[in-house]
């Protein structure tokens, strides 16, 4: 059992989240409300039913259910609602800064205009800042399976809406098997030229070769998941030497059967090898967890102490796409808070 003092410490220490999907974060109550708003029938009728429905066998099977959740999002108001929900959730978990993915391909396929998505997340983000003093920034993810010219088109649209919606970067997600990162090289080359940050989901459903592909073909600055890098010592060394951050989502990996149990998960081995690992939730309600739950579970399974927690919190700010001066400010605030929490709680 996790010691109660360490649990409180985890709850109160400031941390960022850098790997969370907007569309994967719709709480069951909101999902039911959105479905009712649009007359959409879901395969469950209450919150308990939704929780039970979220049972996964693989990433690809999960993506079908992710698309089902997306089907409830139609208007600017819907996107504002889920952004606001995520802001409230950030405040409740001690997350003052969050970078959030959205994947337009799932809306484009349903002919939802880009402007509808952008105006919703833009106004949601403003309200989140006002109501919760939480900074939310967006990363526009390219679905790996889209045609490369659609990847380029997404970067162009993201660039045009950059200031309006707080878009700081381009990512890559969805089906990893059969869709190598290098297919989307033109989009990522353009993103780099435009000064947008670049990240990619890799090393989740495919092994280390997929992480190498994202690093070498797309010149990404962080890897989302990246856990299967552990199978290639040369890659682990490379990540550690260059301090390429991994945005690891331990409980997501268990839910999607990447590893059978948390004690088999490489999060601690990667950390011990010097890789800049930070902890995230991925698609929180779908994986029956939030960021805190991921910290709790890792702390309990690997017998972590407060110093280990400090390091994950520090890494979460180090890996963020914050301008340098602001990053130093957040890190200084964190050190102050650590001192305070140590004397109050431990
Ligand atoms: N989209 C939402 N969650 C994802 C994940 N864990 N991997 C790939 N694409 C995703
Ligand atoms: Zn993800």
Q: How many CA atoms lie within 13 A of 227 on its CB side?
A: 23
Distance CA 238, CA 242 (A): 6
Ligand nearest to the CA of 224: 2
Residue 337 lies in a domain: no
Residue 333 lies in a domain: no
Distance CA 307, CA 168 (A): 31
* Cβ(19) – ligand 1 distance below 6 Å: no
Q: pLDDT, tens digit, for every residue of 80-136? A: 999 999 999 999 999 999 999 999 999 999 999 999 999 999 999 999 999 999 999
Residue 302 lies in a domain: yes
* Cβ(173) – ligand 1 distance below 6 Å: yes
Active site residue 11: no
From the alpha carbon of 24, which atom of ligand 1 is closest?
Answer: 2
pTM over 0.95: yes
Q: What is the CA radius of gyration of the chain?
A: 19
26 lies in which domain range? 4-324
Distance CA 119, CA 302 (A): 43
Ligand 2: centre distance to CA 265 (Å): 17
Distance CA 190, CA 269 (A): 35
Residue 345 lies in a domain: no
* Cβ(204) – ligand 1 distance below 6 Å: yes
Write the residue with the smallest CA distance to atom 9 of ligand 1. Answer: 174
Q: pLDDT, tens digit, for every residue of 276-293? A: 999 999 999 999 999 999
Rounded to the nearest 10 degrees, how much is the dihedral formed by the CA atoms of 243, 245, 246, 247? Answer: 160
Helix (H) or strand (E) holding 223: strand 222-225
Residue 142 lies in a domain: yes
Q: How many domains does the chain have?
A: 1
Q: pLDDT, tens digit, for every residue of 224-265? A: 999 999 999 999 999 999 999 999 999 999 999 999 999 999
Q: Could you tell me the CA-to-CA distances from 125 to 104, 114, 130, 346 in Å, in that order? A: 17, 16, 9, 35
**What's the confidence (pLDDT) of residue 136?**
98
Write the residue with the smallest CA distance to atom 6 of ligand 1. Answer: 282
**Closest to 166 in 3D by CA, of 209, 128, 188, 136:** 136
Distance CA 316, CA 292 (A): 13
* Cβ(66) – ligand 1 distance below 6 Å: yes
Residue 218 lies in a domain: yes
Residue to substitute in 174, 181, 211, 286 for testing ligand 1 pocket (most ligand atoms within 8 angstroms of CB):
174
Residue 344 lies in a domain: no
Name 143's bridge partners. 173
Residue 251 lies in a domain: yes
**What's the confidence (pLDDT) of residue 295?**
98
CATH number at residue 72: 3.20.20.140
Give residue 3's pLDDT band: very low, low, confident or very high (50, 70, 90): very high
Contact status, residue 150 vs residue 184, Cβ threshold 8 Å: no
Write the residue with the smallest CA distance to atom 1 of ligand 1. Answer: 174
Query: What backbone phi and psi angles, to 5 degrees, belong to 327?
Result: -65, -45
């Amino acid at each position: 059992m996790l010691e109660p003092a360490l649990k409180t410490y985890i709850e109160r220490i400031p941390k960022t989240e850098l790997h969370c999907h907007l569309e994967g974060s719709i709480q069951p109550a909101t999902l039911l409300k959105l479905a009712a708003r649009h007359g959409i029938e879901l395969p469950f009728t209450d919150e308990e039913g939704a929780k039970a429905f979220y049972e996964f066998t693989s990433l690809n099977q999960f993506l079908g259910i992710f698309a089902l959740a997306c089907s409830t999002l139609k208007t600017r108001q819907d996107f504002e609602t889920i952004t606001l929900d995520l802001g409230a959730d950030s405040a409740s978990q001690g997350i003052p800064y969050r970078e959030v993915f959205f994947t337009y391909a799932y809306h484009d396929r349903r002919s939802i205009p880009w402007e509808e998505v952008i105006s919703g997340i833009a106004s949601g983000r403003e309200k989140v800042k006002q109501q919760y003093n939480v900074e939310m920034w967006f990363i526009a993810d390219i679905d790996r399976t889209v045609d490369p010219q659609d990847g380029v088109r997404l970067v162009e649209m993201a660039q045009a809406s950059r200031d309006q919606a707080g878009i700081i970067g381009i990512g890559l997600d969805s089906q990893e098997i059969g869709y190598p990162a290098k297919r989307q090289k033109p989009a990522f080359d353009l993103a780099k030229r435009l000064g947008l940050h670049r990240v990619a989901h890799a090393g989740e459903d495919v092994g280390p070769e997929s992480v190498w592909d994202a690093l070498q073909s797309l010149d990404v600055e962080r890897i989302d998941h990246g856990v299967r890098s552990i199978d290639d010592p040369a890659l682990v060394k490379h990540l550690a030497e260059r301090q390429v951050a991994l945005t690891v989502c331990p409980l997501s990996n268990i839910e999607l059967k990447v590893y059978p149990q948390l004690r088999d998960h490489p999060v601690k081995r990667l950390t011990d090898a010097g890789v800049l690992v930070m902890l995230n939730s991925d698609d929180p309600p779908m994986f029956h967890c939030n960021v805190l739950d991921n910290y709790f579970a890792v702390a309990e399974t690997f017998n972590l102490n407060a110093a280990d927690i400090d390091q994950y919190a520090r890494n979460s700010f180090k890996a963020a796409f914050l301008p340098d001066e602001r990053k130093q400010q957040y890190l200084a605030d964190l050190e102050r808070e650590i001192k305070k929490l140590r004397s109050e709680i431990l």
